[in-house]
A and B are shown apart, each in its own frame.
Chain A
Amino acid sequence: KAGVTQTPRYLIKTRGQQVTLSCSPISGHRSVSWYQQTPGQGLQFLFEYFSETQRNKGNFPGRFSGRQFSNSRSEMNVSTLELGDSALYLCASSLRTGRSYEQYFGPGTRLTVT
């Protein structure tokens, strides 16, 4: 079974621009979560989508948004990019939401904001 895939793998953007990242979960998985990983803050939860609905949200500004499609694929968008948004953005999928379902991560998208 194919794992979680994320595109693009690398991205360079300029401050003030916006960016869209894509995540395809493991086949049959309906929950997608997004995380930001930086050396200073570690792994931080952004949001979770299940059945096209945002179920949970972390403490990030409204510039960070996401959505999920009917095939469970998910996108996250960051508007008005800031230098501090440079990070590895990770997507994780799980069979369902809640309880203790295992989450499997993709390879991430490395975003650099200049």
Chain B
Amino acid sequence: GENVEQHPSTLSVQEGDSAVIKCTYSDSASNYFPWYKQELGKGPQLIIDIRSNVGEKKDQRIAVTLNKTAKHFSLHITETQPEDSAVYFCAARWTDKLIFGTGTRLQVFP
């Protein structure tokens, strides 16, 4: 089956710096890659996604890149702010199921 690996598990950055989270997937049949942000006590919130026919997508301070050949995709957050602190999950859609990475705890220090 599909396996999604996510790194790093924790990431600490200074406010204003950039943060990058990387994920790899194993099955080339996966065709949709969303990213979720989960704050304490809340459900995951969809923040950006990318489909397999696109290499990059940007939404304000957030961008996602996809390399189908290498089977990896990354989340880039620029000009980080304290409110970006949360757990971020990547996922891959495989056989109509979302397979999630293990999460990255991002801490942004003022």
Residues of A at the B interface (CB closer than 8 Å) are 4, 33, 35, 42-45, 48, 55-56, 58, 90, 92, 97-100, 102-108
Contact = CB atoms under 8 A, between A and B. Distances in A.
Contacts of B101: 42
Contacts of B42: 107-108
A108 B100 contact: no
B103 A42 contact: yes
A100 B97 contact: no
Contacts of A102: 34, 46, 49
B98 interface: yes
A100 B93 contact: yes
Given A42-B102, A100-B51, A105 B43 contact: yes
Contact of A104 (B46, B51, B93, B95): B46
Contacts, number: 51
Interface of B: 31-32, 34, 36, 41-46, 49, 51, 89, 91, 93, 95-103
Tell me the interface secondary structure of chain B in the complex.
strand
Contact of A107 (B43, B96, B102): B43
A103 B96 contact: no
20 contacts: A35-B98, A42-B101, A42-B103, A43-B89, A44-B100, A45-B98, A56-B96, A56-B97, A90-B43, A90-B44, A92-B98, A99-B32, A100-B31, A100-B49, A102-B34, A105-B45, A106-B43, A107-B43, A108-B42, A108-B43
